[in-house]
Structure 1
Amino acid sequence: MTENQDGPLPVVAIVGRPNVGKSTLVNRILGRRAAVVQDTPGVTRDRISYEALWNGKRFTVMDTGGWDPKATGMGASITRQAEFAMQTADVIVLVVDSQVGATDTDLAAARVLRRSDRPVILVANKVDDERSEANVAELWSLGMGEPQPVSALHGRSSGDLLDLILDAMPEAPREQEHEEGPRRVALVGRPNVGKSSLINRLAKEERSVVDSVAGTTVDPVDSIVTLGGEEWRFVDTAGLRRKVNTASGMEYYASLRTEAAIQAAEVAVVLLAADEVISEQDQRVISQVVEAGRALVIAINKWDTLDEDRHDQLEREIERDLARVKWATRINISASTGRGVGKLADHLRWALASWEKRVPTAELNQFVRALVQETPPPARGGRAPKIKYVTQADVRPPRFVVFSTGFLEAGYRRFLERKLREQWGFAGTPIEVSVKVRDARDRDARKS
């Protein structure tokens, strides 16, 4: 049975030098293929977080780029990402390739981690059978305690490793620090809506290749741009395909990296083309941002190309097809002429402010009590549930937990969400309202 967990989840950081199988281990922990795996060092370039579940315990597993203390350029950037994961995690898993043995980089990582106050589990990966276990003994030299032999690829001893991870977790997760530096913005949309043109306009130089052929951008491209007197880190991504599993080769990895860019961002700008009908692909891109819990700005590009008929048609499409994200901030722009682009910073700030907004508990409950008195929840099974208490469990995005004596219908939960938005705004961010049922039997059990 899954235990209830409010607030932030414990964080497990998977760290190690390039190509030791970190992403494969992440996929094994998750029980699904989520992290990009390729037999080439450097495929993972950023910290990417996923929610995992083991023995009823939920936690966040963080995949990181390869750790290399001597790296320069992109390698140094990867190292900073991994080091940040080490500083903010509740449990650290250091992955070493048992077939290669302890390298100088592994030794350097171990020296850093020995000074850490976090619990560290040493994993000897690629121990695929009993014959391979002889290689594990050498890894005692890292001074990290007993190496845990695992085959991330085949799943050998992965359950034992997960038990160790749960045992090492603190009772409460650490207070998470937010990384300093430019806010991270993922620029996403289906192919050929003008993402690279917008990046070039923002950067005031040719950062990304622009071509009328869809699919020119494959890897996410980071650009530090100054907008509205502030620096932002924009990531131009490949156009998302209809379904990841229908793509192959470079397209497949481009799609996965785009999903990873959304996960790594704080706010996403979804770019739509004003001269084209809002499509199923556009809707899927928006859904990915919402499901990832990221702040959302919808930018409609090529606005300068509209005639009056298309303008009226587009407004009807927006009213019909984007009704579920009416809360998203919206801006009309032209990447080619620069129209409206300067106002994008304000929309990003508004969305991020809502994404990080916390409502005081007393103020929240006073509002909800008055709301419920005016519009009580509908009866179910002849009995009307009573809302006892509401708390905001988390931010980034805001998450609210309603403690009730009975189940609240989905329609009433949507009503609560709408009223919370009307009262406190939350423009540009998804919010989540969940319900915990506590009836008289629960109270009696707690008293006994």
Structure 2
Amino acid sequence: MTEPISSPLPTPARTLPVVAVVGRPNVGKSTLVNRILGRREAVVQDVPGVTRDRVSYDADWNGRSFVLVDTGGWAPDAQGLAAQIAEQAELAITTADAVVLVVDGTVGTLDSDQAVVKVLRRSKKPVVLAVNKVDDQRAEAEAASMWNLGLGEPYAVSALHGRGSGDLLDAILDALPPTPPLDLDPERGPRRVAIVGKPNVGKSSLLNKLARQQRVVVHDMAGTTVDPVDELVEVDGETYVFIDTAGIRRRVKEASGHEYYASLRTQGAIERAEVCVAVLDASVPLTEQDVRILTSVEEAGRALVIAYNKWDLTDEERRHYLGREVEQDIAPFAWASHVNISAQTGRHVDRLGPALQEALTSWETRISTGKLNAFLGRIVAAHPHPVRSGKQPRILFGTQAQASPPTFVLFTSGQLEPGYQRFVERRLREEFGFVGTPVHVEVRAREKRGKR
């Protein structure tokens, strides 16, 4: 029911009404979002400011579907990072069909709540007032006092326990415009691209540059992105769903609280994507973390484009050492196409489009059984398997078991040595390309007939 989706944009497929959830920090917006969705999707922690971007999810209630947008805490006098978070909340209001204002029923109305109300009145959007943290009847009297905000009936809810959520959802549906019939495209939707990398390598800056707007909060503090953020972006005339993810830390156990859940969501984003753009910081030495991220993409069987970011911050000496690091550490991923970019200045960001197309085309490539076996026959004749202990296993025939990623099964007269198996994979790449995609080669040795 609740797969995270791209943010609402004026596209033919975007016909669902949009509900933005706003309020000051730590009133329980993300907890309420999870309650509406029916599962833990938004990152929640008892610390203000965990949610920083606009994050959208598909939701439904009583047969009506809508888009639910979780936002960061809105504060009228915000500075720095907090101001950017507030700007994202205001953007969410402008794109929404209805707004849910969440206030804290345990503390009553604050000046910052009144400031949010002024912004909502200017927007002229329908507003549903949710008074959260009303866990029992005694707190309902305080919730009733929220009539003074002038937004109509306050709905007393407990996002944590689910109390009153049904009435709130009914009110949300009443505030939404009628839903036109879905304009379903029989063709496949936009391709899914996950932007992955260590914290603070420029993933969000790259997404903003591609989207040509300040789509996600960017700050020089590492770890600004927590929830995966989806955005419909057009690159070279092709529409993609880009997923900006939290930086993958060196060890999941090093992450705590919301960072731990964010790391799990990042892995989920890789699984949900078809191709990943791994962003590496070219201005500093590559690390074991970078290699681990590339490995996680390969193990998930996703296509891969490596973007060496912050190229504008590298000099001749750094580029020399980077070349050596790539030869030594990134050599196992030589099959991935790479681009040298600067997300800050936009340098060569336009080269990502062709690289993505090439990687996806390779990822979906199918080789006919006839062509594959003709190829295998040629390499076996030219480079037979070495004889070991008087035995020489042979490749009897092969087939492509699947695409996405290309997976080949070799039926053999005996077990192949790992080195020979890698040789076959290397020759497959030389013959058929496969730039930007992992290639899996499996061996099925013929079973020996047992003696009677």
Fold shared per TM-score above 0.5: yes
- 1:74 paired with 2:68, answer yes
- 1:231 paired with 2:239, answer yes
Percent identical residues: 51
Q: Give the corresponding residue for 2:438.
A: 430
**Secondary structure of the corresponding residue to residue 268 of structure 1:** strand
**Secondary structure of the corresponding residue to residue 238 of structure 1:** coil
**Secondary structure of the corresponding residue to residue 339 of structure 2:** strand
Q: How far does residue 315 in structure 1 lie from its aligned partner after superposition?
A: 0.8
- Cα distance 1:39–1:249, how it changes in 2: closer, same or farther (>3 A)? farther
Q: How far does residue 39 in structure 1 lie from its aligned partner after superposition?
A: 12
1:55-66 equivalences in 2 (<5 Å): none
Q: Is the 8 A contact 1:44 1:65 kept in 2?
A: no
- Matched letter for residue 380 of structure 2: V
Which runs of 5 or more structure 2 residues have no equivalent in the other structure?
4-31, 43-56, 70-185
Q: Is the 8 A contact 2:402 2:408 kept in 1?
A: yes
Q: May I ask how many residue pairs the two structures share in their alignment?
A: 292
Q: Give the corresponding residue for 1:35.
A: none
Separation of aligned partners in 2, 1:368 and 1:439: 21
Deviation digits for residues 345-372 of structure 1, max 9, x if unmatched? 1000000000000011101101101101
Deviation digits for residues 323-356 of structure 1, max 9, x if unmatched? 0000000001111111101111100000000000
Q: How far does residue 378 in structure 1 lie from its aligned partner after superposition?
A: 2.1
* Structure 2 counterpart of 1:191, from 199, 204, 216: 199
1:1-150 equivalences in 2 (<5 Å): 40-41=34-35, 42=37, 43=39, 68=61, 69-74=63-68
Query: How large is the RMSD of aligned CA atoms in angstroms?
Result: 2.7
Q: How far does residue 182 in structure 1 lie from its aligned partner after superposition?
A: 1.1
Q: Give the corresponding residue for 1:262.
A: 270
Q: Give the corresponding residue for 2:391.
A: 383
1:361-400 equivalences in 2 (<5 Å): 361-400=369-408
- 1:273 paired with 2:288, answer no
Deviation digits for residues 242-278 of structure 1, max 9, x if unmatched? 1112322100010000000000000000000111111
Separation of aligned partners in 1, 2:329 and 2:280: 12
- Cα distance 1:376–1:439, how it changes in 2: closer, same or farther (>3 A)? farther
- Matched letter for residue 277 of structure 1: P
- 1:212 paired with 2:212, answer no
Q: Give the corresponding residue for 1:25.
A: none
Separation of aligned partners in 1, 2:355 and 2:60: 35
Q: Give the corresponding residue for 1:410.
A: 418
1:273-312 equivalences in 2 (<5 Å): 273-312=281-320
Q: TM-score, normalised by structure 2?
A: 0.61
- Cα distance 1:366–1:334, how it changes in 2: closer, same or farther (>3 A)? same
Separation of aligned partners in 1, 2:318 and 2:398: 45
**Secondary structure of the corresponding residue to residue 226 of structure 1:** strand
Deviation digits for residues 365-406 of structure 1, max 9, x if unmatched? 011011011111123442111111100000000000000010
- Cα distance 1:45–1:397, how it changes in 2: closer, same or farther (>3 A)? farther
Separation of aligned partners in 1, 2:276 and 2:187: 17
Q: Is the 8 A contact 1:404 1:439 kept in 2?
A: no
Q: Give the corresponding residue for 2:137.
A: none
Q: TM-score, normalised by structure 1?
A: 0.62
Deviation digits for residues 100-158 of structure 1, max 9, x if unmatched? xxxxxxxxxxxxxxxxxxxxxxxxxxxxxxxxxxxxxxxxxxxxxxxxxxxxxxxxxxx
Separation of aligned partners in 2, 1:349 and 1:377: 36
- Matched letter for residue 245 of structure 2: T
Q: Give the corresponding residue for 1:420.
A: 428
- Cα distance 1:16–1:355, how it changes in 2: closer, same or farther (>3 A)? closer
- Cα distance 1:70–1:337, how it changes in 2: closer, same or farther (>3 A)? same
**Secondary structure of the corresponding residue to residue 234 of structure 1:** strand
- Cα distance 1:67–1:415, how it changes in 2: closer, same or farther (>3 A)? farther
Between structure 1 and structure 2, the one with the greater Rg is 2
Q: Is the 8 A contact 2:302 2:404 kept in 1?
A: yes
- Cα distance 1:382–1:281, how it changes in 2: closer, same or farther (>3 A)? same
**Secondary structure of the corresponding residue to residue 255 of structure 1:** helix
Which runs of 5 or more structure 1 residues have no equivalent in the other structure?
1-14, 18-37, 47-63, 76-177
